[in-house]
Structure 1
Amino acid sequence: MSTNADPIETLTTEQSWERLRTQELGRLVTHVGETIDIFPVNYAVDGDGILFRTAPGSKLFELTVNADVLFEVDHHTDTAAWSVIVRGHASALESDADVQRAEAAGLRPWIPTDKRVYVRIAPTSVSGRAFRRAPEPDRDGPQEY
């Protein structure tokens, strides 16, 4: 990007998936009634979906009440940043074949807890934006219109 270019770039779906594949920590947003929760989860990209592991508790309960979720991943350096949002439906994997495939993804809990339930987010949309980071524009003097 040139210095005069828009500091915000809309990512294509493929560019968004490329960025999702580079990270392993995201935020899961659930919505049940008037309650909106956000949970940090480590994850893996599985083909055209997102996998994470969990245990019985509020997160899994909320997903069974309302499977519609948002999943957000971002990353930044001193000069650039990006954010990708996945909208989709989350469901616990139940078949042996699905669980075996998920186990092959190598997804392991970050903390020593027993998380035996694999959940897959099937995306309905994926969108992302990249940002050029730079100092704030000068506020004094003539402004462009």
Structure 2
Amino acid sequence: MFGFYRDIYIYVPRHDRRTFVTKVDFATAVPPEPSRGQGRKPYRVVSNLGVFWFVPGKGLEVESLHSGVAIDDVRDATSFPVISGGGRITSPPTTTDLDFIREVIDPLGARDLEFMDSRSRRDLIRTIYAKERLS
């Protein structure tokens, strides 16, 4: 997949050591193959702690941290090196951004599923399903 797109953004809702691991057992995308012009690295990684990019041979570099997050929080939640990016705070979304997400991209609230316990998730899925059937 990475070979077909110019900029790849990866969204990770829970930044922890089980997600940001030192080594993986398998990968679901084609590994970088410069001789074929394929295999681009992710352009940015966005997690619940901040915005990052990978520096080849060095690790994860911080572009910005979300409000209230310290670099030590990121290091504690990552199983490989994290490079401080200078302490920039992620800009919060504007009212226009939030309205667009809530009214155009995800009017049914599916984005909330990632942060719910199983019972609440089940109830929201049922609600979304019922609304989808009506449309």
TM-score interval w.r.t. the shorter chain? under 0.3
Structure whose residues are more often helix by fraction: 2
TM-score of the aligned structures, taking structure 1 as reference length:
0.26
Q: Which has the higher contact order (CA 8 A, sep 6+)?
A: 1
Which structure: greater strand fraction? 1
